[in-house]
Structure 1
Amino acid sequence: MKWSQISDVGRVRPGNEDSMCACPDIGLFAVADGMGGHKAGEIASRTVIEYLVENLRNSNVEKEDIATNLLRILDEANLRIHRLSNEIEEYRGMGTTVTAGIFVDNKLIIAHVGDSRAYLIRHDDIIQITNDHSLVGEMLRCGGITEEQAINHPQKNVLTRAMGTAPMVRLDLHTVDLKVGDKILFCTDGLINHLRPEEIKHVIKGQPDLDKCLEELMDLTLERGGTDNSTIVLVEVE
């Protein structure tokens, strides 16, 4: 597989609370978007990514147990973040999204919570794999608002689920059968806030060089305001 990654603080936020990883040796690619007080969001997102990488590298499980193992590790990471939030005053109330994918053989296993996303780009289609665990996401799925209304909704950043906000977290699990030429995009909402899926697909389809592709996506995000941290990981199946 081929892959690239990029992250930018944007034009408004004082620091970058996003974290990411690209670890092809264990098939792991992930993004996380932290939230909380001074630097607490950065701690939360970094904690879940580092915990994932460390424990997956030390795991020795059969292929059929990978999904169960991924969920177990994220449950433990959630508890660690929650404990840090309770024990350290400046970390109080911190949390993070996480969208983590493991590539194994011709499959992709994704565990997800929050409003970071994973997309599948195949031929002329872009398909959102994950569901946003946000107030607006829930309203959209229930038919309470339209997609157009969701784009600029004043409560679009209100999460209904996140890592670290409670001792236990409910994670979504997705499995995708992969084909040669598929591209998987993992991103935080800094990208989604400024670019629609069709625009993302247009850039990805038009630029085969993955590094240049992500640079173009980031440049567009910044041109349109860069109101949040933006992090993108793009993987191509060969």
Structure 2
Amino acid sequence: MKWSYTTDTGLVRSLNEDSLCLSPETGFFAVADGMGGHKAGEVASRTALQIIKRELDRRLGLGVKPADALVEAIKEANRTIYEMAAQNADWAGMGTTITACLKNKNHVLIGQVGDSRAYLLRGSEIARLTEDHSLVQQMVKNGGITEEQAFKHPQRNVLTRALGTATSLEVDLYKVKVKPREMLLICTDGLTGYLRQEELSEIITTAPDLDTAVDRLLKKAIQSGGADNITIILVEF
């Protein structure tokens, strides 16, 4: 397994509220995009990944099934962040997205909350693996707008679900079979808010290696506006 990653503040924000976690020895890769004032977004995203990794490892060590362990770890992070926000006025309302991927034999398990995303690249084909928990995604599902309209919609950053904003949390879980040479892209909306799916595929598949692909993705997102934090993890199995 090979991997490459980057995270960048972008051109507008003064603080990077994205966080990432890479644990190739356990097959765990995740990104989180925090929200909230007074650095609360940074606290939320960083704390979420720390707790998820710790609790996932603990549960797997106890023999809990990987899918259950991943979901339970994310829910534990949700409870912790909610309690932190309730105890600190500066952190009130903080939350974060989470896209957490765990390689398990010949499958990848994905725990999803929010609008960060995971994609699978098979040769020249790319498939989006996750569904955004956002207002515009609901509008697309209901037939109110098209995917192209959603890409440009002024309310595209409005989330309908985030980690840390309520006492209970529904976590979407996906299980995807993967084969050697296939690639997994995990990213925050600082990338997908500027690059369409076909652009992601073209940049990755024409790059000579993972590092170059990640660098080109970042540069393209910045050239296209770069108004948000950008975090990218690219894994080749």
The bucket for the TM-score relative to the shorter chain is over 0.9
Asked if 2 retains the 8 angstrom alpha-carbon contact of 1:19 and 1:31, the reply is yes
Find the counterpart in structure 1 of residue 196 from structure 2: 196
The alignment's C-alpha RMSD in Å is 1.0
Asked if 2 retains the 8 angstrom alpha-carbon contact of 1:5 and 1:214, the reply is yes
Find the counterpart in structure 2 of residue 178 from structure 1: 178
Find the counterpart in structure 2 of residue 206 from structure 1: 206
2: CA distance, partners of 1:161 / 1:217: 27
Find the counterpart in structure 1 of residue 48 from structure 2: 48
2: CA distance, partners of 1:208 / 1:21: 24
Find the counterpart in structure 1 of residue 5 from structure 2: 5
SS of 1:215 mapped into structure 2: helix
Unaligned runs of 5+ in 2: none
SS of 1:148 mapped into structure 2: helix
Asked if 1 retains the 8 angstrom alpha-carbon contact of 2:53 and 2:73, the reply is no
Asked if 2 retains the 8 angstrom alpha-carbon contact of 1:26 and 1:56, the reply is no
User: C-alpha displacement at 1:181, in angstroms?
Assistant: 1.2
Unaligned runs of 5+ in 1: none
Find the counterpart in structure 1 of residue 121 from structure 2: 121
1: CA distance, partners of 2:214 / 2:204: 8
The alignment status of 1:135 with 2:135, answered yes or no, reads yes
User: C-alpha displacement at 1:31, in angstroms?
Assistant: 0.2
2: CA distance, partners of 1:166 / 1:122: 37
User: C-alpha displacement at 1:56, in angstroms?
Assistant: 2.6
2: CA distance, partners of 1:30 / 1:77: 13
Give the TM-score of the pair, scaled to structure 2.
0.97
Q: 1:85-137 CA distances to partner (integer Å, 9 max, x unpaired)?
A: 11100000000000000001111000000000000111221111000000001
Q: 1:180-222 CA distances to partner (integer Å, 9 max, x unpaired)?
A: 1110000000001111110000011001311111001001111
Find the counterpart in structure 1 of residue 37 from structure 2: 37
SS of 2:65 mapped into structure 1: helix
Instruction: Please tell me the residue identity of whatever aligns with 1:120.
Output: L
Find the counterpart in structure 2 of residue 95 from structure 1: 95
Once superposed, which parts of structure 1, at least 4 consecutive aligned residues long, lie more than 6 Å away? none
Give the TM-score of the pair, scaled to structure 1.
0.97
2: CA distance, partners of 1:208 / 1:170: 39
